[in-house]
Amino acid sequence: MLKAAHDVAAKQALFRLATNSSRRSNDASQLHGVFAVNKPPGISCAGLLDYFKRNITRGPDSMSFDEHFQREKELRDESALSKTKKARRRFVPSNIRVGHGGTLDVEAAGVLVFGINNGCKQLGEYLVGGKSYLATGRLGVATESYDAEGKVTRVCCHSATKQVTAAMIAEAIPRFVGDIMQRPPIYSAIKLDGKRLYEYARTGEQVPVEIKTRKVKVDDIKLLYYENQEAGERLGTQVVLPQAVADYYASGIYEWRGEGASGDPVVGQPLLPFANQPLAPKFQLLVSSGGGVYVRSLIHDLGEAVGSAATMVSLVRTSQGFLRLDRDTIEPEDLAYMDRVKEAMHHAESVVSTLRHQ
């Protein structure tokens, strides 16, 4: 009897959850448009979209974004441990459609364009106009993923890295501007034989064919800052990242703790503990490009072009089409409030309409 009563209560609770979710969705089903979100580092685009879909219209009753962020991290960790099994999010009934344009890596931050309902069909209109990125690279080491998450594949000797100057980087940059051929990193979402490249990488499965270079367009690359403390060279002024982003890239998995007897990265081991290694030469770029460009690949190839190696250690997308970071973006916490999303949609529509006709 008690078990039967418990089962009935559980079914009723599930029905109420589905009903309440459906009512919220019915409200949100009246929303049609596109807007921009300031994606934080440490969460996937799909994970951020999932927070929006689960919490839109819930307002103060929504799950905190910090809690959702932690759950997404646990899902990724679970998936990484199993290698072959993809972690699944809990299903929530909904009759709204959501989508995003222009994928950002988990560890990247910045402008991400969302569409809701009929707005999903308009995403392409809002992505016209190119993208811009603020990227930081460190010299002397390369990884399999071309960023700090990957395992080290090459470590250059100090003497070779010390000889790299800002002038050498500036001289090499024009080779990567214009229509160029670029090889995507193995950790990317490109499909090969029906499977994404990062799925091959994470399971250790051999990629069936060579990853081909692709033609992409890079409009401009500016060297904003270069510092090589051991060589006593410093050029330009480093652009300060938004505080939350700067804190993320300086703490947690990125925090320098002086690991390793030699204090240097080791081939075959993760780079992350050494991403912020003191004295490592670093440079900051502002990249303007079309779609399909991997900034990670640009930094990796630039390192080779100056006779060293390089890895990207931070990335912020500062614009997507006509939409700019901060000026045109809302924060993840705002995604639970319909009025804020509506305002963001109206703002994005106004910005795009105005700039398109200038």
Q: Which residue has the tokens 């490109």?
A: 190
Indicate whether 186 pLDDT > 90.
Answer: no
**pLDDT tens digits along 187-246:** 666 666 555 655 655 555 665 456 678 899 999 999 999 999 988 999 999 999 999 999
3-class DSSP state of 84: coil
Residue-wise pLDDT for 81-139, tens only, equals 765 556 677 777 678 999 999 899 999 999 999 999 999 999 988 888 899 999 999 99
pLDDT in tens, 36-60: 999 999 999 999 999 999 999 899 9
Q: At residue 143, does pLDDT exceed 70?
A: yes
Instruction: Please tell me the least confidently modeled range out of 65-74, 196-205, 299-308, 323-332.
Output: 196-205
Tell me, what's the pLDDT at 273? 86
User: Which residue, 302, 320, 247, is CA-closest to 137?
Assistant: 302
* Structure tokens that stand for 183 in this block: 């090889």
Q: What gap in Å lies between CA 51 and CA 88, rounded to an integer?
A: 14
> Helix, strand or coil for residue 332?
helix
Closest Cα to residue 237, out of 134, 97, 358? Answer: 134
Q: How far is CA 34 from the centre of its chain?
A: 19
How long, in residues, is the chain?
358
Q: Where are the domains of the chain?
A: 2-129+324-356, 131-320
Report long-range pairs for 294-297 (Cβ below 8 Å, ≥24 apart): 294/146, 294/182, 294/184, 294/185, 294/188, 295/133, 295/135, 296/105, 296/145, 296/146, 296/147, 296/185, 297/146, 297/182, 297/183, 297/184, 297/185
pLDDT band at 24 (very low <50, low <70, confident <90, very high): very low
Bridge-based pairing of strands 109-116 and 98-101 is antiparallel
Q: Determine the Cα angle at 305 with ends 255 and 184, to 5°.
A: 70
Between the alpha carbon of residue 186 and those of residues 3, 15, 129, 207, the distances in Å are 51, 44, 27, 9
Alpha-carbon span 192 to 172, nearest angstrom: 31
Q: Pick the catalytic residue: 50, 77, 105, 219?
A: 105
Q: What is the rounded distance in angstroms from the CA atom of residue 29 to the CA atom of residue 16? A: 19
**Quick one: pLDDT at residue 192?**
60
Instruction: Give 54's Cβ-side CA count (13 Å radius).
Output: 18
Q: Which residue has the tokens 């703790």?
A: 257
Lowest-confidence range among 186-195, 233-242, 257-266, 297-306?
Answer: 186-195
pLDDT, residue 264, reads 83
- For 333, which DSSP code? G
User: Helices in 56-186 by DSSP H: which ranges?
Assistant: 65-82, 123-127, 158-162, 166-172
The overall average pLDDT reported for the chain is 86
Identify the pLDDT of residue 18: 46
Residue 349's H or E segment, with its range, is helix 338-356
Question: Are the beta carbons of 216 and 180 closer than 8 angstroms?
Answer: yes
Q: What is the pTM of this model?
A: 0.87
pLDDT in tens, 148-185: 988 999 999 888 888 999 999 999 999 999 999 998 87
Q: Give the mean pLDDT of 9-33.
A: 59
For residue 255, which amino acid is it? E
State which fold the 131-320 domain adopts.
Pseudouridine synthase (3.30.2350)
SS3 (DSSP) at 160: helix
The verdict on whether 105 is a catalytic residue reads: yes
How many whole angstroms separate alpha carbon 100 and alpha carbon 178? 27
Confidence class for position 351, pLDDT limits 50, 70, 90 = very high
